[in-house]
Structure 1
Amino acid sequence: MKDLLTAGGRLFSATVEGAPTTLRDAMVAAPLYVRLLEEDFSSAELLLLCFRAWRDDAQGPVNLCDQQLERVRRWAAAHARAGEVAKQWLSDPDRQSFRFQLAATD
């Protein structure tokens, strides 16, 4: 699932938010976070389904079916695992976090 592309570029990426970022934050930590997320899912489709379920749930109260709730939990767990490992590479891990972004087609 590495380096998935759309006509406009990568299917998804990550940025570092919070304290001012360094080159290492952008070139090492953020790509590591994405790679670890990719490894946690069997396909890009499943990754995107889980992320979208999590995003929809985070935007406000909605009635989610069991399958959607499982996707929310799966995304949250994968995000936490990837963030924990990649955070070690951040220049200011106490004040920075990762933001997952979908390509503009979303």
Structure 2
Amino acid sequence: MSRDDRSVTIDGARVPVVQIDRIDGDVIVSIDVATAVREGFEFTNIWQCKRVTVSISGREFAATITNCSIEHGVAAIGLTDCELFGSDTDRDGGDSR
């Protein structure tokens, strides 16, 4: 079922990814609910808008969870205000002008 073999974590908890989409700068991570629950992923606080640390294929960033909708056993977690960690070169000295 999984189309992506990417390693994804939200606040250190691994999530079984089905699909990752980018829409208008936001990231939508779709995960299989049954597998996530079986592997111990907590949906308890995911409904609240909160700041989290996300890692996708080794790239870590901070983001705000905007929503989580579940349909046909797949949860779509919306992430906005994504800020890549370790991008100091983009901010400090990255401009050669």
Instruction: Report the TM-score range of the alignment, normalised by the length of the smaller protein.
Output: under 0.3
Q: Which has the higher contact order (CA 8 A, sep 6+)?
A: 1
The TM-score with structure 1 as length reference comes to 0.26
The TM-score with structure 2 as length reference comes to 0.27
> Which structure carries more helix by proportion?
1
> Which structure carries more strand by proportion?
2
